Structure 1
Amino acid sequence: MPDSHSPHSTARSWLTIAAPTATAGVVGAAIGLGAQLVSALMEARGYSNTVIGYNGTFGGIATIIAAACTPHIARHFGVVRPILVMLIVGGSSFLGFYWFQNQYMWFGLRFTLHFAMTVMFILSEFWVNSAAPPQRRGQILALYAMTLGLGFCAGPLLFSFVGSQGFLPFGIGCTIIALAAIPVIAAWNLSPRFRDSERVPFLHYIFKVPTSTMAVFIYGAIQLGAVTLLLSFSIQIGYTEEQSGHFMLALALGSVLLLVPLGMISDHINDRRYTLLGCALIGFGGSLLAPAFYHNPLALTVILFVLGGVSAGLYTIGLAQLGARLKGHELAAANSAFIFCYGVGMVIGPTLIGQAMDWLPQTGFALAMATFFGLYVILVVLRLIKKLFFS
């Protein structure tokens, strides 16, 4: 039996972790850069915020369909082959945005890009969860989540440097996706198998743990709504395309840097719903406060940083609450419900935020964000009251 601590074994273990982690980073960067590029091009060509929001909605539809299809794909083709195919599909989608000028083609390309990225995300999450040793699972999953978040940061940062004109931004997006194939191919024989026993029904769990599933619904709505429409919002209130990229970077950095303190707080509170409520209240207040600082770029950057953190906190703390409440097959089913609700949020968020911006050009973006946070506050308060008086 080989020594589990030998250099060869250690290298294999790290390669097994590196492959899905690199895939997660690519997913974040591709979505972050792609959403900015498409929004910038549609804004420049005079499309309304509602139409731009509908385009973002196609990403959410793709996520829902991909969440339903991925287990079937993995059972038939394994983990590595679908990831490599989706890398090709995602890279081709990026180039398609450059080569095709028809808005209807862009809807289709948005769908294929998000479908590919979602399949890669689900399979990489399954891979890293399977590969992580129990005694270090928390650390490794934290590294995985941070890489995903840093990918979201890298997309807007790249956009702020290269802009939306010419072939360069599309070529960079395609290249980033292609580079992820290197560790995936290197770890081909180390990937896990998707077992038939992991196929479980999940719709029931949307209502069994509603504070978790609705937390990720709100996160999906706000995240994709902001990624899709923050550029249009920034231009509407007088900022440049480059400044919009800086605002997006602040939002993305908040979603990475505030996760650790929020996670530490939630670990020291017996009922994580109080931490979820705190995140939603801060998001609600920050969204309402934002219009007062539209013409103060530093203050607006700070507000967006905090909003990015508390919205991502809904996702991570909701997921932690799910793991604390459920185990085994129940947890597997609930995770599927979690991803499904995330996709539904991605469908609804860009559409409603885009319409709000058309109805109320100056305040629609902030009020729509506040509405999502406010509805979640009401849900959590009702659940806590129910626990207090009826449990």
Structure 2
Amino acid sequence: MTRAPDGKPNGDMRGLIAPIGAIAVVGLGFSITLPLLALTLEDRGIPTTWIGINTAVWGIASMAVTPLISRLAVRLGTALLLILSMLTIAVALPLFYFSPFWLWFPLRLVAGATITIVFVLSEFWISTVAPPEKRGIIMGIYATVLSFGFALGPFILTLTGTQGFLPFAVGACVLVAGVLPVLTGLRSAPVLHHEQHGTFWRFLFLAPVATGAALLFGTIESGAFALLPLYGQHVGHARDVVILLGVGITVGNIVLQIPMGLLSDRMDRRKLLLILGLLGLAGAAVIPLVAAMFWPFMILLAIWGGTVGALYTVGLAHLSARFRGADLAAANAAFIFCYSAGGLAGPAIIGASMDHWDPHGFVVAICGFFLAYLAMVLVRMSRAKTVAGIS
């Protein structure tokens, strides 16, 4: 295998095993960690409001560290920074179990920052190694593998239980295992010799169709998916049923990401993102018509969830086609920054909308997000056509 100099594609498909394998394992550890931490705090008698505030620290840390990631990768190297970040998360997880609640805040900052570094660098590595003509389908494979990792986390918790030290120890071991794929692929790791051109903040706006897709996906994933069980209860489903609604979304994510990635290799990704936005809007608008019927609702959630998930997959592929080297690392960081910003805003906006228009304020807020994104994409594409016509 050859080493990829300064983030240029090296054409070695074997180099994809390292970052995809690492992110799959870390995704599994992440899906164990998030519910475990929330349930542990609840068992300790911490009020729900404070659990939410503590969880939000994770997103704040993510947004704070993203402007620094490409600079750190230049100084430490992509592979070394990735390994150090995974080991840091693995060490931090057991500390939550032994720490008083006030110490959970700095621990959340550390965990949020390091998990963000892992996602940014893994996606940068994948974008660098992937051949341009197969970038979309490779991003689809990445998203599918990540979805499998997320789906396995709750299953592991059913085996370990959510009380005592055992689930924390298992989660830490899983995170340490994520280092192994990176070690096997060290020679394929992209090397950055210089920092990006210009400041990090400019990358938020250089490819707004892509970063806007990340913002939209983050808003919906954290807000809509998190509040979906509450919406299910509000439209008449029993508590033991609403827990299953997320399964429909997970299945859709697993099934649709590779086909969507393959499609993105065969058409203008901006047009595909526009189509995904329209489908997402249409799917959300149909939700009130079927929400009270379990199986029609589950089928719609699978199709809609896979479509929403493709916003991230196609948006990332579109972004990686625009930049390379340190600029690509910074653009990936901007992409994750927008995703994290959406994750902070989504729950608050959708929750407030549900309070104002019960029960279908859930749908009103989501439709509003899609309409805002579609308006931005249409304006952006219109301006691109105008510039092309003048030139």
Give me the TM-score of the superposition, normalised by structure 1.
0.78
Of the three residues 375, 379, 384, the one matched with 1:378 is 375
Give the deviation of 1:302 after TM superposition.
2.2
1:12-161 matches, cutoff 5 A: 16-40=15-39, 47-48=47-48, 54-100=53-99, 102=101, 104-132=102-130, 140-159=138-157
8 Å contact from structure 1 (residues 250, 302) kept in 2: yes
Q: Distance in 2 between matches of 1:317 and 1:277?
A: 11
Give the deviation of 1:41 after TM superposition.
5.3
Q: Percent identity?
A: 31
- Deviation string for 1:278-329 (max 9, x for gaps)? 2222222333433444443323322332232122222222233335556677
Name stretches of at least 5 consecutive residues in structure 2 with no aligned partner: 3-11
Relative to structure 2, which stretch is displaced further, 51-60 or 75-84?
51-60
**Counterpart secondary structure, 2:272:** helix
**Counterpart secondary structure, 2:191:** coil
**In structure 1, what is the equivalent of residue 347 of structure 2?**
350
1:256-295 matches, cutoff 5 A: 256-270=254-268, 272-295=269-292
**In structure 2, what is the equivalent of residue 171 of structure 1?**
169
Structure 1 residues 383 and 188: alpha-carbon distance in aligned structure 2, compared to 1, 3 A threshold: closer
8 Å contact from structure 1 (residues 259, 312) kept in 2: yes
Structure 1 residues 88 and 257: alpha-carbon distance in aligned structure 2, compared to 1, 3 A threshold: same
Relative to structure 2, which stretch is displaced further, 223-232 or 149-158?
223-232
- Deviation string for 1:249-306 (max 9, x for gaps)? 3323322321233234444444x33322222222223334334444433233223322
Amino acid aligned to 2:86: L
**In structure 2, what is the equivalent of residue 297 of structure 1?**
294
Of the three residues 318, 321, 334, the one matched with 2:318 is 321
Say yes or no: does 1:254 pair with 2:252.
yes
**Counterpart secondary structure, 2:199:** coil
Q: Distance in 1 between matches of 2:46 and 2:282?
A: 32
Amino acid aligned to 1:116: T
**In structure 2, what is the equivalent of residue 362 of structure 1?**
359
Give the deviation of 1:177 after TM superposition.
0.9
Give the deviation of 1:233 after TM superposition.
5.1
Q: Distance in 2 between matches of 1:132 and 1:248?
A: 31
Of the three residues 199, 202, 205, the one matched with 1:204 is 202
Structure 1 residues 356 and 54: alpha-carbon distance in aligned structure 2, compared to 1, 3 A threshold: farther
Structure 1 residues 142 and 287: alpha-carbon distance in aligned structure 2, compared to 1, 3 A threshold: closer
Give the deviation of 1:37 after TM superposition.
3.2
8 Å contact from structure 2 (residues 124, 332) kept in 1: no
Of the three residues 218, 231, 235, the one matched with 2:216 is 218
- Deviation string for 1:157-195 (max 9, x for gaps)? 445666644444433322221221233344456644332
8 Å contact from structure 1 (residues 57, 349) kept in 2: no
8 Å contact from structure 1 (residues 200, 329) kept in 2: no
Structure 1 residues 123 and 206: alpha-carbon distance in aligned structure 2, compared to 1, 3 A threshold: closer
Amino acid aligned to 1:212: A
Q: Distance in 2 between matches of 1:42 and 1:229?
A: 19
8 Å contact from structure 1 (residues 32, 156) kept in 2: yes
Q: Distance in 1 between matches of 2:286 and 2:134?
A: 40
Amino acid aligned to 1:22: G
Structure 1 residues 77 and 380: alpha-carbon distance in aligned structure 2, compared to 1, 3 A threshold: closer
Structure 1 residues 18 and 335: alpha-carbon distance in aligned structure 2, compared to 1, 3 A threshold: closer
Structure 1 residues 86 and 359: alpha-carbon distance in aligned structure 2, compared to 1, 3 A threshold: farther
8 Å contact from structure 2 (residues 26, 174) kept in 1: no
Amino acid aligned to 2:72: I
Give the deviation of 1:216 after TM superposition.
1.1
- Deviation string for 1:38-94 (max 9, x for gaps)? 44556775845x766544433322222232222232223223333333223322443
**Counterpart secondary structure, 1:362:** coil
**In structure 2, what is the equivalent of residue 7 of structure 1?**
none
Q: Distance in 2 between matches of 1:165 and 1:240?
A: 22
Give the deviation of 1:26 after TM superposition.
2.4
8 Å contact from structure 2 (residues 319, 331) kept in 1: yes
8 Å contact from structure 2 (residues 86, 175) kept in 1: yes
Give me the TM-score of the superposition, normalised by structure 2.
0.78
Name stretches of at least 5 consecutive residues in structure 1 with no aligned partner: 4-12
Q: Distance in 1 between matches of 2:107 and 2:314?
A: 32
Alignment coverage as a number of residue pairs: 377
Q: Distance in 2 between matches of 1:141 and 1:277?
A: 18
Give the deviation of 1:25 after TM superposition.
0.7
Amino acid aligned to 1:254: G
Structure 1 residues 77 and 321: alpha-carbon distance in aligned structure 2, compared to 1, 3 A threshold: closer
8 Å contact from structure 2 (residues 192, 325) kept in 1: no
8 Å contact from structure 1 (residues 43, 232) kept in 2: no
8 Å contact from structure 1 (residues 149, 255) kept in 2: yes
Give the deviation of 1:217 after TM superposition.
0.9
Relative to structure 2, which stretch is displaced further, 281-290 or 52-61?
52-61
